[in-house]
Amino acid sequence: MAYDKIYEIQAGQSYPLGANYDDKGVNFALFSACAERVELCLFDPSGKSEIARLELPEYTDEVWHGYVPDLKPGALYGYRVYGPYDPENGHRFNPHKLLIDPYARALTGELIWNPAHFGYELGHDELDLSFDTRDSAPYTPKCRVVDPRVFDGQDPHRPAVPWSSTILYETHVKGFTQLNPAIPPELRGTFEGMGHKATVDYIKSLGITSVELLPVHAFPDDQHLLDRGLKNFWGYNTLNFFAPASRYGGPNGIKGFRDMVRAFHDAGIEVILDVVYNHTAEGNELGPTLSFKGIDNFSYYRTIAGQHRYYVNDTGTGNTVNTSHPRVLQMVMDSLRYWAESMHIDGFRFDLGTILGREPEGFDQRGGFFDAMMQDPLLSRLKLIGEPWDIGPGGYQVGGFPPGWGEWNDKYRDTVREYWRGDNVSSDFAARLLGSGDLYDQRGRRPWASINFITAHDGFTLNDLVSFNEKHNEANGEDNNDGHNDNRSSNYGVEGPTDDEQINALREQQKRNFLTTLLFSHGTPMLLAGDEFGRSQLGNNNGYCQDSEISWVHWENLPESAEALRKFTRHLIELRTSQPLLRRESWRDGMEIQWFNAGGGPQLPEHWDEGTTLGLYLTRPDLHDQPGIWQEVLLLINPYEGSVPFRIPECGQDGWVLELSTAGDEQMGQAVLPDTDFPLPGRSIVLLRRP
């Protein structure tokens, strides 16, 4: 192999890990406890030709390292790692495979699927016990050395929104921007498009405090999806935990990501990343060798005791990252700190978060990962949100995360859907409305720990929740067998879009009911992008592979009902933001809570069993005499089809004013007297306040 230039390599340092430029050259450091030799491969600017292969000369504390003088930012590289190929003992070293540095800050090129990516011979009788000698370099993204000066400078406008004031907005970089005519065409689908003034101003206009982005870490498109003409749209298949996904890169590269964050911060909006540290894109024992598997498989992944050829699969994706290993845990922590410190991210939502709390003996909220997070002076102060389930034993941990964490509360989602469908779940609904104290009023956790949501990226949109009885995932190419079957949805008489005005009116009213419930519930509300104006995915409840108009947010040619719903949503958010009674901060705030039945009397145990309409009275003495602040509210809730005469209870001295009704605004501002029958429309919520 002939090279145009002779590169020198020196001993360098074992810390920090990754490729680090110091104005004179680049230090390379790679953890591998079980490797026997590591080669650094340098490539030309195209990434197609290997121009140098340098053996890392030193090995310190299980870290291979070397320093290349005069090497500059922009240099492309990868690793070849030598060691035993012994899958039955958990080792899968194969130097014919070019490997991505786990600490690479940027990747160049996309992964091109080829049999050379596999450490074994595809189709061999011995499966992964065979050995493949093809070179994977032509098909593998190259790591790029990044100039640290890209990350210079602080962000003076980090919003630091209190949890109790937080309103989350879950969205997708490309999905949100691809069809927005207000964004220049060349920026659509990119970080720059997400940070464009049109995007930021719109989200700001809703009253949102915190944007939660679906995964932006580098990820490939799965071969089986490409074979069907599809893509990995959601991105839950991480290839590298430091590099932003190049598919969202715009003209300014990494700086474009920073600029996006800065634009949101300047508008007072936080940026939260959905992160996937529970598994990687390398799959099970028959998956490709792209990075971790070839660097130190036995350290990076959990393998089955006594059968180390096979992986623990608590994620359902083939492998599970071994956060019990100190170096693997270090990588996760280093990644989080990098995004927080260098990229100025405000928080993280952890996909299948239960995985991260798994130790060999099972889930432990005092496990190494949780302990590391909560003692970290930076990360512990950010917004930390767990998806509190996985498919492993004891994997359902809603309410089981440590203090300091918020959790996606699927009990909230399911109960609210059931209630408005007409199921008899009144007592459970009451608990969810008041912050799920049965789950979170312990160990000093606050109501905000409950991340309340009715819809998310995974499942029906709000529009589809009230338009379809069944999922319609045919476009995914899996014969409609993928996605959830238990959606707790209703089409109200017709499956999908209809011209029936009565059905459409009912659907719009149900959307208002769901949104009102969400934004008037104690806890932290999360709104799915587009639900504020009734975005549809045509009944597809599993758009993970739909990089298409099915998943993209449509901004043009919307029906009149869309703008009406958006206006209604803005009003709800304004009310929640301005009124402390609607966004409880503490279980110990002195709030008085009373439940009433439709007869105006207290809600007794037997009434809960009947599933009756509900009246909820809230007051806080400390709010008295504060201008513009309500000290008392009365919510009337009727999930059933018919109107109910609701006797207004005689609590307090004065009468009430009708502030909001999901059945329409004809009577807004009208006086409502105690001890009178209020005609509570079917399937509606009414909010009353003191005059």
Active site residues: 351, 387
User: Do the beta carbons of residue 346 and residue 158 sit within 8 Å?
Assistant: yes
State how far the Cα of 405 lies from the Cα of 385, in Å rounded to an integer. 6
State how far the Cα of 431 lies from the Cα of 154, in Å rounded to an integer. 42
User: Do the beta carbons of residue 40 and residue 79 sit within 8 Å?
Assistant: yes
Query: Phi-psi category of 47—alpha, beta or left, where left has phi over 0 and alpha has psi -120 to 50?
Result: left
Type and span of the H or E element at 515: helix 501-520
User: Do the beta carbons of residue 223 and residue 210 sit within 8 Å?
Assistant: no
Tokens representing 670? 């009208």
Tokens representing 525? 């509300």
State how far the Cα of 234 lies from the Cα of 216, in Å rounded to an integer. 9
Type and span of the H or E element at 661: strand 656-661
- Phi, psi (rounded to 5 degrees) for 434: -95, 20
State how far the Cα of 473 lies from the Cα of 478, in Å rounded to an integer. 8
State how far the Cα of 637 lies from the Cα of 625, in Å rounded to an integer. 28
Strand partners, 304: 307
User: Do the beta carbons of residue 9 and residue 50 sit within 8 Å?
Assistant: no
**Strand, coil or helix: 593:** strand
3-state helix, strand, coil in the chain (%, to 5): 30, 20, 50
**Strand, coil or helix: 331:** helix
Tokens representing 302? 């959990």
Q: How many helices (H) and strands (E) does the chain have?
A: 15, 31
What's the first-to-final CA gap in the chain, in angstroms? 85
What residues contact residue 146 under an 8 Å CB cut-off, 6+ apart? 19, 21, 73, 105, 106, 254
User: Do the beta carbons of residue 373 and residue 298 sit within 8 Å?
Assistant: no
